[in-house]
């Protein structure tokens, strides 16, 4: 009687999910890295994207980069132009639309946050704003960091996760705009941030909304005034 043929050990049921998770993490990492490069201007609007070159740059295989590019297309950071993939340029019209939506959403967020935000947290954010003394001494990275602190603290105080994601996404898209910072908006922007924070600390919802709307209106005007003197109507 023949001995039964030995069977190869069954693969671990958890092996496939682990591989799938690893692939997902690589694709997510590629997406985050490429989006960060776009937001920082390292990959400027209109630049052609080569899958192989990007994979080499990131030290990855082409598969996670391909998946990341697909997601970037879906989220509007990358566009197809014929057979090429390019970094999507941000038009002035895009920025104006984004700021219109931000005005509505963040005005609402400021009114909701009024009276809800921990006074200690409000004071901490005020100190960060006041700590920026001169535009000559503040890097664009620090400026954006403090700006994020103000706007995202307010959004998070609402407790509305969808609102937080929306504000975060809209701010990231604003950051793609070619003008990293408008120097003459430095001091007025600080004063406007402090007015918003003071109204929130005092629990004055209508004043917080009005201050936030004024802040975004003035940012919009600053961009338009700058473009009037610079300007192509499409900036990378």
Position 4 scores a pLDDT of 45
| Residues with pLDDT less than 50, the chain | 1-16, 18, 231-236
All domains of the chain in start order, with CATH: 19-88 (1.10.10.10), 91-235 (1.20.120.530)
Helix boundaries (H) for 8-160: 15-39, 51-58, 62-74, 92-113, 119-130, 140-157
Summarised one tens digit per residue, pLDDT across range 72-85 is 999 888 999 988 99
What is the rounded distance in angstroms from the CA atom of residue 202 to the CA atom of residue 191?
16
Backbone torsions φ then ψ of 215, nearest 5 degrees: -60, -45
Position 10 scores a pLDDT of 45
Position 109 scores a pLDDT of 98
pTM over 0.75: no
> Please, what's the largest Cα pairwise distance for the chain?
94
What is the rounded distance in angstroms from the CA atom of residue 53 to the CA atom of residue 57?
6
Position 8 scores a pLDDT of 43
């Amino acid at each position: 009687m023949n001995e039964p043929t030995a069977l190869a050990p069954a693969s671990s049921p958890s092996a496939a999910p682990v591989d799938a998770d690893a692939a997902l993490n690589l694709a997510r990492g590629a997406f985050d890295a490429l989006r960060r490069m776009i937001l920082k201007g390292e990959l400027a609007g209109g630049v052609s994207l080569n899958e192989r070159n990007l994979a080499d740059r990131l030290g990855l295989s082409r598969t996670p980069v391909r998946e990341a590019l697909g997601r970037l297309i879906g989220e509007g950071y990358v566009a197809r132009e014929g057979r090429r993939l390019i970094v999507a340029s941000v038009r002035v019209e895009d920025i104006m639309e984004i700021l219109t939506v931000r005005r509505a959403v963040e005005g609402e967020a400021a009114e909701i946050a009024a009276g809800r935000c921990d006074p200690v947290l409000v004071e901490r954010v005020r100190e960060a704003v006041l700590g920026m003394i001169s535009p000559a001494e503040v890097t664009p990275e620090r400026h954006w960091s403090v700006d994020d602190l103000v706007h995202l603290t307010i959004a998070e105080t609402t407790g509305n996760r969808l609102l937080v994601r929306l504000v975060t996404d809209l701010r990231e898209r604003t950051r793609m705009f070619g003008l990293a910072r408008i120097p003459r908006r430095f001091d007025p922007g600080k004063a406007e941030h402090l007015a918003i924070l003071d109204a929130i600390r005092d629990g004055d919802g209508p004043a917080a909304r009005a201050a936030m709307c004024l802040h975004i209106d003035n940012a919009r005007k600053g961009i338009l005034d700058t473009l009037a003197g610079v300007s192509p109507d499409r900036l990378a």
